[in-house]
Every structure is written in structure tokens, then in C-alpha cells.
Amino acid sequence: MTEEMSDRIAEMCGRAEMYRLLASVFYRELDDEQIATLKATPLAAPEEGPMKAASEAIYRSFRVAPPDVLTRLRVDYARIFLAAGVYEGDTAVPFESVFTDEEGNLMGEAREQVVAVFRAEEVTVDPALQSPEDHLSFELEFMAITSDRIAEALEAGNEEEASRLLAVQERFAREHLLNWMPMLAERVRTFAREAFYPAFMDYAIAFVDDDAAWLEESLAQ
């Protein structure tokens, strides 16, 4: 295997790792291990730009955090993403349909579109989770799974499959993730009491946006 191919495979594995990190933060409340990791060093980012600013904001939010930061962030997660204590009006529950359906309903057309993409790529969401497939975490995990598959295709010398999956990712990032994440970010800013989740939303959007641009460029080449 050439050094160039090894670098390409490593890049896909790195993308999968980042998408899984993003998915884990939006799926449930943070735990002690996640907080320790986020406090230790800023998240990876280019030298400048929105991702860098968001990474620094996340890091600062932990450097000045009070001793009960874990409890405070768990309460904030419930308020933001589980709509705890929100009995009327808009919410920030992280489902694409809520933001793209005209009436803001769950299980809308976006969910059906996501299910179709998942089925086409033989990606399944555990039914035991009892959650619609258009949850932000599941959409981010889809990008992680397909990044792993691209790495496997490259390792097997299957450039055609790798290119096909890159095109699937680019389309999914633009038609789904970037289609509603900015609207979710606005709601997050409305409900958040701590600095972490608004900053993390900004980081996630900047990462997906940069990644979609990279995918487009890679496909063009």
C-alpha cells in the first residue's frame, strides 16, 4: 500500500471519529469522561474560521466552569434537547422533521427521506431506541459509518465504491444535515443557560460545512 493511500484511509478514519464524537454529544447528557476530554484540549480546528472560534469557545466554557458543571450541563441538555419544562411553543428537540415540516411535527417527510437513505446503504437504527431516524445523532452516525466503509473500500482497492460513498455523503450532508442544523442552533441559543451547547452546535455546523466542501472538491477531482 502506498503512503498516499495510507493517508487517505487515515483521513477517512479521522472523519469517522469526529462524526462519532459529534453524534455522542447530541445523543445523551455528557458524562465525566467526555467532560474530562473536552476540558483537556481544544477540539481540532483549522488555523482560523468558524470552527476555530467555536472550538475555543467550547474550551473556555470548561476552563471557567463551576465545580457542578456536570449537573448543570445535564440540566441544560434536558432543557434544550428533551424540552424539559417546555410546555408550549417551539422546542429544540433534535429531529430534522421538527424543523423542516411546515407544522413542526415529528415523523414527517424528512424522516421518510432519511429512512430511505439508510435503507439504501443498509444502515439501521436499533428499534429498541424507540426514536425516529432523523435524530441529529443518527444522521451524524450515518456519516461516521459511511466514512468507515470508504476506508474499507480504499483498503480493498475499490475506488469505485469509495467514490460512490463519497457522493452519498456529500448529498446527505447538504440535503439533510446542513438543511436544518443552523435552525436547530438558533433554538439551542434560545433555550441554553450554559455556554457549552451553543458553542458545540456552532462547531458541529462548521465541521459539517467544511466537510461537505471537502467532499465536493474530492468528487470533482
Structural domain boundaries of the chain?
3-220
Q: What percent of the chain has pLDDT above 90?
A: 78
Query: Which CATH number is 3-220's, of 3.55.40.20, 1.10.3480.10, 1.10.10.10, 1.10.10.410?
Result: 1.10.3480.10
Q: Is the dihedral of CA 122, 167, 49, 184 positive or negative?
A: negative
Which amino acid is located at 173 in the chain?
A
Give the model's pLDDT for residue 63.
81
Give the model's pLDDT for residue 40.
87
Could you tell me which of 176, 171, 154, 178 has the C-alpha nearest to residue 219?
A: 171
What pTM, to 2 d.p., does this model score?
Answer: 0.95
Half-sphere exposure of 24 (CA within 13 A, CB side): 14
Give the model's pLDDT for residue 88.
66
CA distances from 163 to 20, 130, 153, 157 (A): 21, 33, 9, 12
Cα–Cα distance between 156 and 15 in angstroms, integer?
A: 19
Could you read off the pLDDT of 107-132 as tens digits, one per residue? Answer: 889 999 999 999 999 999 998 888 99
